[in-house]
Structure 1
């Protein structure tokens, strides 16, 4: 089992390319590897992760505490790529929610999965690729989280 941490769409693409190469070279089935964070993803990434059988952990703390910085340093085009929870679930990626760092309360993190609120600006990154329901966010913290962690 491999766990890999990605922060940008570029290192995520490199990981996907290498995972696909290993899968084909060694005739592996669904990889059951874990992508940690995957903070920024291009539109094609969730479907590719699902195809390869790669699960993902997510933390809304990155949207809450870092999205303003990404917008300011990278540009507004970064925001639609951040924490695309809706796209991950729709693609069939087993997705586990986590806190990683503040807010540490799972209940606040569940709320952030719905609102995608950014701090300190108070704006939101709630686009069509991001927003999930409260029930889906709870599911990511419980049943799907257990599945990703192989509990």
Structure 2
């Protein structure tokens, strides 16, 4: 009986640890709120590897909105040496309420998750490490923002 209980306890501790793949991130310079955790598929250390033409999925969990709003715009920017590379945010992810937020409208002081998913990352650069900034806003109001490093391959 005790062996079975020991096995159950070990499984209960190990399985959640194996599935949790937290990606390190930094706060944005604009002071926007950050999620409790951030996960990029397959990335547990920076820089993350971002493969051109392949899907990219990232999840911010437990982000607390500072405002109530039904209009949330997602953006993603790429920087090299402090310079914005000018790569436009894919239009299909801009409306975060329709694509990525688990529920809208957002309610002030309530947490939510945001999933960024892009079927294929199209970039004209390769072999460089860039700063990637992913954020959410309602007009000029920043709802959330994180930065992480990624190497484009």
Whose relative contact order is higher, 1 or 2, with alpha carbons under 8 Å and at least 6 apart?
A: 2
Larger proportion of helix:
1
Normalised-by-shorter TM-score class = under 0.3
Could you tell me the TM-score, scaled by structure 2's length? Answer: 0.26
CA radius of gyration, larger in: 2
Q: TM-score, normalised by structure 1?
A: 0.26
